[in-house]
Amino acid sequence: MGHKPRVLIVEDNARNRKLFRLIVDSMGCESLLANDGEEGLRQLEGALPDLILMDIQLPGIDGLTLLQQLREQPRTRTVPVVAVTSFAMPGDRERLLGAGFTDYLSKPIDTEELQAVIARLLPPGHGRDA
């Protein structure tokens, strides 16, 4: 098999970051952590992750702006990015998917829902029963 799938977690809340990391690691993936958008962009200068979990409410560059930057660059255009938001509002899903996010999760994070999204978006042969 190839490399362990790499999942970049961009989240400013330490508790949520830890929860994301535990779930990602438990699925046999390697987690990369970023506290904010700037750090996320720095992480992306290295090897590209297979998936990005991105909090929307971030200090500095917010998740929506960061996503737009990733979608404008050929190198990062096709990386799956899952939006995570704490303000569940009517129309959120349509708005976020319309902006270019691959999928959407609302906080508080449901472990099984997150696992299902990760398994669905990782390269075939990874994440599911792995």
Positions that interact with Mn ion (CB under 5 A): 12, 55, 57
Instruction: Give me the least distance between CB of 56 and Mn ion, in Å please.
Output: 7
CB of 85 to Mn ion, least distance (A): 9
Closest approach, Cβ 84 to Mn ion, in A, equals 8
Name the residue with the smallest CB distance to Mn ion: 57
Closer residue to Mn ion in complex, CB, 13/69: 13
CA dihedral 79, 80, 85, 88 (to 10 degrees): 140
Which residues, including other chains, have CB under 8 Å from residue 46's CB and lie 6 or more apart?
A: none
Indicate the residue among 53 and 122 with the shorter CB distance to Mn ion.
53
By beta-carbon proximity to Mn ion, the closer residue of 57 and 69 is 57
**Residues with Cβ within 8 Å of residue 85, at least 6 apart in sequence:** 55, 56, 57, 63, 92, 96, 104, 105, 106, 107
